[in-house]
């Protein structure tokens, strides 16, 4: 995954992580990654995986709803996933 920080003069950061899609948190250095039906959230500052979940079906749209909630849409449902708390 290659990230370009537009707020920091276009600084490029590369991470040895494989994913089909990625979305950065709007306020923190946190990234959500999707590969197939697996969604994972990482804190890039702490170099720590915060959460991981296998979705029941593919995600067709996703976005950070706010600084702590990832919204995901599948073909039949909408999910809101908080980065605080346990793995699900």
d(CA 68, CA 71): 10
What is the per-residue pLDDT for 9? Answer: 78
What is the per-residue pLDDT for 3? Answer: 66
> In angstroms, what CA-CA distances link 46 with 11, 19, 24, 29, 53?
19, 20, 15, 9, 20
Regions of the chain with pLDDT less than 70? 3, 6, 86-88
Q: What is the pLDDT of residues 46-68, one digit of tens each?
A: 989 999 999 999 999 999 999 99
24 phi, psi to nearest 5 deg? -85, 145
d(CA 66, CA 10): 23
Question: Which structure tokens are listed for 13?
Answer: 């950061």
7 phi, psi to nearest 5 deg? -80, -10
């Amino acid at each position: 995954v290659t990230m370009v920080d537009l707020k920091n003069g276009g600084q490029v950061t590369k991470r040895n992580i494989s994913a089909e899609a990625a979305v950065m948190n709007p306020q923190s250095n946190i990234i959500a990654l999707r590969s197939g039906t697996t969604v994972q959230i990482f804190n890039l500052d702490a170099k720590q995986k915060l959460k991981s979940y296998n979705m029941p079906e593919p995600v067709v749209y996703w976005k950070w709803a706010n600084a702590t909630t990832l919204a995901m849409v599948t073909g039949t449902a909408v999910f809101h996933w908080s980065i605080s708390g346990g793995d699900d």
